[in-house]
Chains A and B, each alone.
Chain A
Amino acid sequence: MSSASDLPILEFDQTCFSYAKNGSFIKDLTLSIGEGEFIGLLGANGSGKSTILKLGSGILKPASGELTLWGKPTHTYKNKDRAKLICYLPQTLDITVPFTVRELVSMGLYPYDIPPSMTAEEALEMVGLGDKAAAHLSDLSGGERRRTFIAMTLVQGAGLLLLDEPLANLDIRYQIELLRLLRRLREERNISVVMALHDINIAFQFEKIMLVKNGVLLAAGAPLEILTEELIRDAFGVEVTIIREGKRNAYISYEKCFSPSRNEI
């Protein structure tokens, strides 16, 4: 896998945000996403993963602190110009209208006055759905629907994808398929990906993760180096055992959580 360059695409600098009038949800968040990086944003439910992605994409406005996209404050971009650089995909993609796959993918052209180089057909070919262009979205599997939206971002030409729990409703085969696709796109097209996730075992497959809790960045780096049992207890509130397989892989065991002495919970 190609190594990430140091050029930051998206930077949070002491960014704060809150949903309610008082109190703050994201507190002094500072992080930076480099070109070509493939990052897992790991955290428990309600830890602030989605909020961080929505701030990054400009859907939510920070209460204070800086947010820069390619070196320029995010809010100074015109909507259409920003859309050519960055795309946020929400966790649920339920659509009440029977769009076809081609119709959806072609929406990636909307930020452009002059169509960019990639057509919907090429993008669908790239995500392995070349034969599904005329199908209705409702006829696709969950994994295929995800890939359709990825194809849309390819047409859109966004170099940074912020994906909110894209693996959440997929079974293991489709999870692997989607991860492989995204890694390939990163190799071939230098697309950077930040993906919110909560599955620690999947997180071990990333070269870089960022662990968040209550809107604060607990740790960032290679999962094999930074993920410890203590850190997982802190972030998720559970006692797990990390089982290491040589230097290149690890996974967690839940066995401790279900030991007889804990049945009183």
Chain B
Amino acid sequence: MKTRFFIIIFVPLVVFGSSLVLGPKIINPFGMDETSREILFSIRAPRSVVALLMGMALGASGAVLQGILRNPLADPYILGISSGASLSAAIGIVAGLTFLGAFTIPVLAFGGAIFTGSLVGVIGWKRGGLWPERLLLGGVGLSFLFSALLMLMLSVSSDEGLRRATLWIFGDLSMSDWSRIPYGLIFVLGGMLLSMVRAKALNALILGDEMAHSLGFTPHTERFVLFVSVGLMTSASVSLGGMIGFIGLLVPHMIRFFTGSDNRMLIPASAFMGGALLCAADLVSRSIMPPMELPAGVVTAIIGSPYFLYLLRRKNVLGL
């Protein structure tokens, strides 16, 4: 058991460190020249921090969402938050909006995400609380609607913003710089903290509302708080660098194998491993054939899926 916890702390640190020094140009941290220092601090460090934050947000919110929706197939994007963010960001990109300078697109994405999250909340609300099935189906419905609008917009527009918008939607970390990180940090860590202090309630909610009540919780209140935490983390993640698949859905399942299903452990562990995975994927994506970059989301899935499938065959990952 100790080894497992050690792995969960150690792996992300090693991966993060490696992502700073490795790449098309290998940097010796003990003998840096001016160029290396510039690359390390202005390009790689912010990018790795963004990857870490996004991965953390996705891993943690995936774990929380699978609990509140009582559905092992839930991932943070199922609520339509990402589609709303993408649509809003794409409108900004294609229309060439720059009212907030470099912040315009992230702010638009965050706004779109929070708007969509709230809308899903309104749809999922009935008789004084959020209902898992309504949330899930409401999210899927909105997701289809916004994706369709996005495709419609991209197919009728022909300007050069198109490629950028598409790139952004599939996860683009190449634009990362220090300026967005403080905001990302606040929302990601805030959401994570919120979900971690309610982790016991999340465990109880997985047993059903009646059991949660029997254990001394108020199911509707707890679900609402946890939903807000997911909304914050997912919105921050999408606005930092677009959509990255795999992490939110499958990292929590992989982590359950290491730490068990208790959310007090599962949420932070999924966050760390999600962050590590995205960091590693980003490292691979920019190193494999420079100067070209592969979308990080593609690499995440290519690294992660075989390992996940291996675990699924070999171990009792899903309790199946």
Query: Which residues of A approach B to under 8 Å, CB–CB?
Result: 54, 57-59, 79-84, 86-90, 93, 95-100, 103-104, 106-108, 110-111, 136-139, 156
Contacts and interface: CB of A to CB of B under 8 A. Distances in A.
A199 B301 CA distance: 53
Interface stretch (B11-19, B41-49, B65-73, B92-100): B65-73
A166 to B, nearest CB: 14
Contacts of A95: 206-207
A82 B72 contact: no
B319 A57 contact: no
Given A59-B209, A136-B316, 20 more contacts: A59-B210, A79-B213, A80-B216, A83-B215, A88-B210, A93-B207, A93-B208, A96-B66, A97-B66, A97-B206, A98-B261, A98-B318, A100-B261, A103-B260, A103-B262, A106-B262, A108-B215, A110-B215, A136-B319, A137-B319
Question: Nearest 3 pairs between A and B by C-beta?
Answer: A98-B319, A83-B216, A111-B216
Nearest to A112: B216
A192 to B, nearest CB: 15
Contact of A82 (B67, B71, B216, B318): B216
Given A98-B319, A110-B204, A136-B316, A57 B216 contact: no
A69 B277 CA distance: 51
A110 to B, nearest CB: 5
A149 to B, nearest CB: 8
B203 interface: yes
B179 interface: no
Nearest to A108: B215
B65 to A, nearest CB: 12
B216 A97 contact: no
A191 to B, nearest CB: 15
Nearest to B316: A136
B134 interface: no
5 contacts: A82-B216, A93-B211, A100-B261, A103-B261, A107-B207
A59 B71 CA distance: 23
Contacts of A97: 66-67, 72, 206, 256, 261, 319
Interface of B: 66-67, 70-72, 200, 203-204, 206-211, 213-218, 256, 260-262, 316-320
Contact of B215 (A81, A98, A107, A137): A107
A226 to B, nearest CB: 30
A12 to B, nearest CB: 18
Nearest to B320: A138
A95 B317 CA distance: 15
Contacts of A88: 210, 213-214
A163 to B, nearest CB: 11
A96 B200 CA distance: 16
B210 A107 contact: no
Contact of A57 (B66, B203, B213, B260): B213
Given A98-B319, A107-B204, A87 B214 contact: yes
Chain A CB count within 10 A is highest, among B200, B256, B260, for B260
Contact of A98 (B204, B208, B213, B256): B256
Nearest to A104: B207
A156 B208 CA distance: 17
A111 B261 CA distance: 20
A138 B209 CA distance: 20
B172 to A, nearest CB: 33
Nearest to A59: B213
A97 B69 CA distance: 11
A110 B204 CA distance: 9
Nearest to A78: B216
B211 A90 contact: yes
Contacts of B206: 95-97, 99
A84 B204 CA distance: 15
A96 B204 contact: no
Nearest to A161: B214
Contacts of A103: 203, 260-262
Nearest to B201: A110
Contact of A111 (B203, B215, B317): B215
B278 to A, nearest CB: 24
A107 B203 contact: yes
